[in-house]
Amino acid sequence: MAKRTENKKENGCYAIGKWFAWVVALLVTGCSPKVATEIYHSYPATQADDVQVFKTGTNRPYSAELLGKVAVKGNGYTAHFSYDQVVALAKAETAKAGGNALAITEHKEPTILVSCHQIKGEMLRMKTQQREQIRKADSLELASRKSIKPRKLPPPLPIHIYGNGGFGHVFSKAYHDIPGGLSGTFKNGVDFQGGIDWVGKKFMGVGILYSGYRSGAYHTNFVRNPDYPKEQTANPKSRIHLDYIGPEFVMRAANKHWSLRYGIGVGAFILNVEEEMDFSMGKTVKGMGLHYQLSADYLLSKHVGIGVNAGVIYGNVYDKNGVIPGSMDQSVEFYRIFINGGLHFYF
């Protein structure tokens, strides 16, 4: 029984090995495309490298002599053959027949069933003079393609005036927390800006930007003093004003419908704090800042557009008099991001 079992195992392994060898042989024998030719006339063989190829969709030289036809077909699920490899096989057959030109009449892309390119073509023989004429024509066409200059973007109108309004958000340790008795936040507020710039033919220029930010918070636990005027505000408000003005370097480009703009610069940064308690009063701290902004405008006409603008303004002030709570004799930084929109004019 043990011997019979071992024989069955050996026979099974032999059958599997035989089947595997048959599959490998099938794949190996079927890994090359099949080349078929139909020869009408022949001449002494030429070099395959000298065979000129006319792809599908191009006019072949009809005055050339037709020597025969060639077809390179897939042989089932073959090894991958690129288009150039398949054409090389057809060129070799054309050279064997004495031809010097191959006009491809049909080209099939690889599919799930056939994994290589398939082509059909005509094997041709052209006269030397005809070959030279075609080569010259091809050279002229190639030269004309190279001589075509790329389309350049026209220079934008030089003067740009704009006004925007929207939302701003401030990052600063000075207003990280709201003191007790205040309702609201200084970190979110109204942002607005206006400016003008000029650019030259190389899309670069200069401009000037003004940008403002307004925010505030109410004193909810304030008790009005009866000795003060009745006009006194019941819930006084603390306000902050951030103002920035400065020159900028500008890059701007436009087409028929859109205008894109980039600006960066340095300028003066001004902080103003107003406390509406008993009487209105304001304290100002000045410093330096810088800005970066990017805008995109949709042009309603040649001279008018509507745009969206986003950017950031950085400011640094030295609070000598303690205008900002807890920051006397200290430098305070502000980062203000903004996104807004408005009307833009071009001249």
Nearest one of 180, 181, 175, 228 to 336, comparing CA atoms: 175
Arithmetic mean of pLDDT, 173-187? 59
CB 250 within 8 A of CB 261: yes
pLDDT digits (tens, 9 = 90+) for 56-82: 877 777 778 899 999 998 765 555 568
Give residue 169's pLDDT. 93
Position 18 scores a pLDDT of 56
**189-231: pLDDT as tens digits:** 999 999 999 999 888 999 999 999 998 776 665 555 555 555 5
pLDDT score for 282? 64
pLDDT at 155: 75
Q: What are the φ/ψ torsions at residue 221 (nearest 5 degrees)?
A: -105, 20
Averaged pLDDT, 11-27: 49
Q: Which residues pair with 275 in a beta bridge?
A: 238
Distance of CA 143 to the CA centre of its chain: 31
Alpha-helical (H) ranges within 233-297 are none
Beta-ladder partners of 310: 294, 339
Q: What confidence tens digit (pLDDT) does each residue in 259-276 have? A: 999 999 999 999 888 766
pLDDT digits (tens, 9 = 90+) for 227-250: 555 555 556 677 888 999 999 999
Local structure of 175: helix, strand or coil = helix
Q: What is the mean pLDDT of residues 290-312?
A: 94
Domains present along the chain, CATH in parentheses: 29-127 (no CATH), 159-224+234-346 (2.40.160.20)
State the pLDDT at residue 245: 97
185 vs 221, more confident:
185
User: In the structure, what pLDDT confidence band is assigned to residue 177 with cuts at 50, 70 and 90?
Assistant: very low
More confident residue, 270 or 116: 270
In terms of C-beta density within 10 A (0-12 exposed, 13-18 middle, 19 or more buried), how is residue 99 classed?
A: buried
By DSSP bridging, strand 118-125 and strand 204-219 are unpaired
* Bigger pLDDT: 122 vs 57: 122
**79-100 average pLDDT score:** 87
Report the side by side order of strands in the sheet with 52-54: 34-39, 65-73, 118-125, 101-108, 52-54
Q: What is the CA radius of gyration of the chain?
A: 40
Query: Which pLDDT score is estimated for 299?
Result: 92
Banded model confidence at residue 130, pLDDT cuts 50, 70, 90: confident
User: Given pLDDT bands bounded at 50, 70 and 90, which one contains residue 165?
Assistant: very high
- pLDDT band of residue 297 (cuts 50, 70, 90) is very high
Better pLDDT: 137 or 39: 39
- Percentage of the chain modeled with pLDDT above 90: 40
What is the per-residue pLDDT for 56? Answer: 81
pLDDT value of residue 183 = 54
Of residues 325 and 190, which shows the higher confidence score? 190
pLDDT in tens, 144-164: 555 445 555 577 889 999 999
E strands present in the chain: 34-39, 52-54, 65-73, 101-108, 118-125, 159-171, 182-199, 204-219, 237-254, 258-275, 282-299, 304-319, 330-346
Q: Which residue has the tokens 């027949």?
A: 97
CA distance 171 to 329: 20
Q: How is residue 306 written in tokens? A: 């509507």
Residue whose token pair is 């009809």: 62
Q: Are 268 and 307 in contact (CB under 8 A)?
A: no
Mean pLDDT of 79-98: 86
Q: 13 pairs with which residues across the strands?
A: none
State mean pLDDT over 182-186. 64
List pLDDT tens digits, range 308-320: 999 999 999 888 8
- Give SS3 for 47: coil
Handedness of CA 128, 134, 140, 145 (dihedral sign): negative
Give the mean pLDDT of the chain: 78
What's the confidence (pLDDT) of residue 16?
A: 45
Q: Looking at the predicted structure, is the pLDDT value of residue 342 above 80?
A: yes
